[in-house]
Homo-oligomer: A and B are copies of this chain.
């Protein structure tokens, strides 16, 4: 998952206003006995599919193959492309109806050599990694005095001369279930910090990685895409930042002089390249042109193997559909699994989400789309592999739909939040901007930022039983959505 929380809030306020204005257009206004009987059938099937999903292990098996065969899948890389081709084949063999690979253009950034060390007064090596999209140092590195700031705000408020300095921001990340601690941090420190430092004349930017753990991993992640205008920008592992805070205490007590730091980081801007979305459908029986998009993103950062970010999201959502296929249960509407390319990297326009944007342009935006299909709901799984604890639906479903959903999800220890969805996953944003409502199946994120964007994002972080709980919740929820009488998109009449 990348930096989108700040954007999400904005989108929600805009889209939310539209939805509230539209009201509960599609609500069950005319529930006769037939409709209610059909609802009971749908609910029974959803519960059956939920239980079948619980012990199938499809998601874990798929994720195991993906991570073993392709390792890291950097946006625009050969590995991402080959993984997309393999994924398309795997979806075909699972029994999806149609599978397409749709390429799109993007600008490429590639990590180079990277190292950093404190030269004085406490010489030692640091564990660092360049922020995605940041500029390189000269090959011999940058060697300069560092100015340490305990928080980002302290840096922004500072009046000290930073010309030629390495700006070091040591602010930690709060551990939260929703990830809001990361959202607020990354929305500013990581994306804007480097250019704020550049504007103050700094020679480089070094921040405490946006991670909640104390293991010695530097967390990667995008900053605003720089070509000429930026400065070398890196994240360091939390234990290194803690050590530097202790050095700052010695400095503040007058027991240590200024820190001199050397940074070598040689990423390259490779110019234009291609990534791709993989799109696989399980066609609806009655309303095949009413589309529900689900999925995750196929690219990962280059340090780990993208098991929790976002191999698990793809595995969970495709396994949900596989559960229906294996049970011989075809829904009324079409469920489309999209494995988005290039979610993680920022782009020169700093918009990012290139794959999701390409999808929305081609399939959702009435001005540019190639088909007349209608998207009634969108959702993504992109918050790791821990259990789902809450579901929230678009505002248009604030009816007895939620009560029915709760009955089916509670056995999985999932409650239904009466408040409307406020995220949907980063890759749903371009579709949401076109008015497609989103739902959330919210995962526990307490430990997500321990690992995400690090070399430690590997299969060993995954607990298969938790994946299956996710698959069960997705399967049951999708079945209700794809067969129900609620029309989530107010633009669509049922």
Contact = CB atoms under 8 A, between A and B. Distances in A.
Interface of A: 64, 67-72, 78-79, 118, 122-125, 127, 214-217, 238-239, 242-243, 246-247, 250, 304-305, 454-456, 458-460
26 contacts: A64-B246, A67-B243, A68-B122, A68-B243, A68-B246, A68-B247, A69-B122, A70-B122, A71-B118, A71-B124, A71-B125, A71-B243, A72-B124, A78-B123, A214-B458, A214-B460, A215-B215, A215-B456, A216-B454, A216-B455, A239-B456, A239-B458, A239-B460, A242-B460, A243-B305, A243-B458
B243 A72 contact: no
A455 B237 CA distance: 11
Contact of A72 (B125, B304, B456): B125
Contacts of A250: 68
A454 B456 CA distance: 14
A217 to B, nearest CB: 8
A215 B217 CA distance: 10
A16 B460 CA distance: 44
B456 A71 contact: no
B246 A127 contact: no
Contacts of A454: 216
Given A64-B246, A246-B64, A304-B216, A127 B455 contact: yes
A250 B455 CA distance: 24
Contacts of A460: 214-215, 238-239, 242
Given A79-B124, A305-B124, A459 B71 contact: no
A428 to B, nearest CB: 29
Contacts of A70: 122, 124
A360 to B, nearest CB: 31
Given A70-B122, A239-B460, 18 more contacts: A64-B246, A68-B243, A68-B250, A70-B124, A71-B122, A71-B123, A71-B125, A71-B243, A79-B123, A79-B124, A214-B458, A215-B460, A216-B304, A216-B454, A216-B456, A216-B458, A239-B456, A242-B459
A119 to B, nearest CB: 12
A297 to B, nearest CB: 18
A28 B255 CA distance: 53
Contacts of A71: 118, 122-125, 243
Scoring A79, A122, A123, A215 by chain B CB atoms within 10 A of each residue's CB, the highest score goes to A215
Nearest to A238: B460
A457 to B, nearest CB: 8
A148 to B, nearest CB: 13
A182 to B, nearest CB: 20
Contacts of A304: 216
A185 to B, nearest CB: 19
A421 B69 CA distance: 49
A304 B247 CA distance: 17
A483 to B, nearest CB: 38
Contacts of A456: 215-216, 239
A459 B246 CA distance: 11
Nearest to A249: B68
Given A215-B215, A216-B304, A243 B122 contact: no
Q: Which 4 A-B pairs have the closest CB atoms?
A: A71-B124, A214-B460, A239-B458, A216-B456
Nearest to A304: B216
A216 B243 CA distance: 21
A67 B71 CA distance: 34
Nearest to A73: B124
Nearest to A117: B71
